[in-house]
């Protein structure tokens, strides 16, 4: 058994096959470390290759919010403190941005090390160009995590950290119509490539977090930025299909009409009166993206995506819909440690290609996944991460 899970089982007192809630499994992970800033591994059982010991910022942000929802603000703050350390001690940048991924574990070295692996075919150490970049959506989720911890602790450093990320992210604004925030950066310093596409998901994230930043800071500038992001999301809505386009192409203008689950669900969670303003988005997802009793990532392939199924469950539960079958489906995708697999099938294509290798599809695998565990915890707690309540 992987050493990480052996320690987790011992600490949490799990017995093989014994059901336990996601909060217990999630809170057992930072408890493996001494108090202090820490990043959690996104795929802790992977022992080689590009995602070994990688702490993706998005997964850690969702985990921090879920820990706060689970009544563990001290553990949420450990992740938030790691984000602040990464922001303050980057090997190159000093403009408030974070990277998409870091080496998992306690913050012990400054600047924070970035993940990589030995590539035998090239006989050298390499870093993933996505992991060292700064994706706009990931920056928004880091802000959501920092503001969640700020709202629970009122410690000013978390508000300041979120404000610094926001000032970096607003530089991604594009006046190409439909106007909105573009995708961020990809690749290494000093001149990473700029993603010129725009994402419905990213702008939804920003609409929510800019609104919270405006409220928490008292700075009306962020309320204006929230409205701008929300206007882009509204521009992606199609009345005829009762669905959202996933965003734009590289030109920042043409619609990418792939039906992806998060683009249908997140506006209902993140935007004020979102389900009333965009009626039928959830129903469209339930018709076109249902797979068994769960949900697929997109129309690209059937197969349950655990994280997205938990997202759908949260929105459905908050709307008062029955989630009994969906809850049972998610439970079947839990392993003996209480973690959840990223996908039910051995592999689940998303419909997108890897930026690092456009000839290969982006895939979720049947591996224990921090993001899936955190979203299941949010679902169990009926906690909306965009609203922080």
Residue 13 Cα to chain centre, angstroms: 28
Count Cβ neighbours within 10 Å for each residue of 350-372 and write b for 16 or more, e otherwise.
Answer: bbbeebeeeeebbbbebbbbbbb
In a 3-state reduction of DSSP, which class is residue 291?
strand
Cα distance between residue 24 and residue 54, in whole Å: 22
Instruction: Specify the DSSP class assigned to residue 388.
Output: T
Mean pLDDT of all residues in 264-270? 98
Q: Is the pLDDT of residue 95 over 70?
A: yes
Q: Tell me the domains of the chain and their CATH numbers.
A: 3-381 (1.50.10.20)
Distances (CA, A) of 9 to 5, 26, 105, 372, 374: 6, 12, 18, 18, 18
What distance in Å separates the CA atoms of residue 40 and residue 18, rounded to the nearest whole number? Answer: 24
Helical pair 220-235 and 200-217, crossing angle rounded to 10 deg = 160
Work out the pLDDT band at 14, boundaries 50, 70, 90.
very low
Q: What is the pLDDT of residues 204-223, one digit of tens each?
A: 999 999 999 999 999 999 99
Closest C-alpha among 66, 52, 37 to residue 4: 52
Calculate Rg over the CA atoms of the chain. Answer: 19
Distance (Å, whole) CA 8 – CA 26: 10
Cβ atoms of residues 229 and 210 within 8 Å: yes
Q: How confident is the model at residue 10, as a pLDDT? A: 47
Q: Is 384 left (phi over 0), alpha (psi -120 to 50) or beta?
A: beta
Residue 293: the pLDDT is: 83
pLDDT at 80: 98
pLDDT tens-digit profile of 222-245?
999 999 999 999 999 999 999 999
Q: Using 50, 70 and 90 to split pLDDT, how confident is the model at 269?
A: very high
Q: pLDDT tens digits, residue range 106-128? A: 999 999 999 999 888 889 989 99
pTM score > 0.85 for this model?
yes
Task: Taking each helix axis as running N to C, give the angle between helix 281-288 and helix 261-270, from 0 to 180 degrees, rounded to the nearest 10.
Answer: 150
């Amino acid at each position: 058994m992987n050493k990480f899970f052996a320690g987790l089982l011992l600490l949490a007192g799990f017995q093989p096959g014994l059901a336990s809630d996601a909060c217990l499994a999630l809170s057992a992970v930072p408890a493996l470390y001494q108090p202090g800033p820490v990043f959690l591994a996104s795929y802790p059982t992977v022992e080689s290759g590009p995602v070994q010991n990688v702490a993706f910022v998005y997964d850690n942000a969702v985990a921090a919010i879920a820990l706060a929802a689970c009544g563990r603000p001290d553990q949420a703050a450990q992740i938030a403190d790691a984000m602040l350390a990464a922001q303050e001690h980057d090997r190159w940048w000093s403009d408030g941005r974070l990277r998409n991924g870091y080496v998992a574990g306690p913050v012990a070295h400054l600047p924070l090390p970035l993940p990589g692996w030995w590539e035998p075919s090239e006989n050298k150490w390499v870093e993933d160009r996505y992991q060292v970049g700064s994706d706009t959506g990931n920056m928004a989720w880091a802000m959501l995590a920092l503001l969640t911890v700020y709202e629970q602790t009122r410690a000013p450093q978390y508000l300041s950290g979120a404000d610094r990320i926001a000032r970096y992210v607003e530089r991604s604004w594009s006046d190409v119509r439909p106007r909105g925030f573009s995708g961020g950066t990809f690749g290494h310093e000093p001149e990473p490539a700029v993603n010129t596409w725009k994402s419905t998901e990213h702008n939804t994230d920003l609409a929510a977090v800019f609104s919270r930043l405006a409220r928490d800071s008292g700075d009306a500038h962020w309320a204006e930025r929230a409205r701008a992001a929300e206007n882009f999301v509204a521009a992606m809505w199609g009345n005829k299909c009762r669905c959202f386009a996933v965003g734009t192409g590289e030109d920042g203008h043409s619609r990418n009409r792939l039906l992806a689950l998060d683009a249908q669900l997140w506006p209902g969670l993140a935007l004020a009166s979102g389900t009333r303003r965009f009626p039928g988005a959830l129903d469209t997802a339930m018709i076109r993206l249902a797979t068994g009793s769960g949900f697929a990532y997109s129309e690209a392939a059937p197969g349950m995506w655990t994280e997205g199924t938990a997202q759908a469950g949260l929105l459905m539960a908050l709307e008062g819909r029955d989630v009994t079958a969906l809850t049972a489906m998610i439970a079947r995708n839990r392993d003996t440690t209480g973690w959840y697999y990223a996908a039910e099938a051995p592999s689940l294509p998303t419909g997108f290609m890897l930026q690092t290798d456009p000839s290969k599809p982006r895939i979720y695998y049947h591996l224990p996944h921090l993001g899936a565990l955190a979203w299941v915890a949010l679902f169990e707690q009926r906690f909306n991460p965009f609203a922080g309540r």
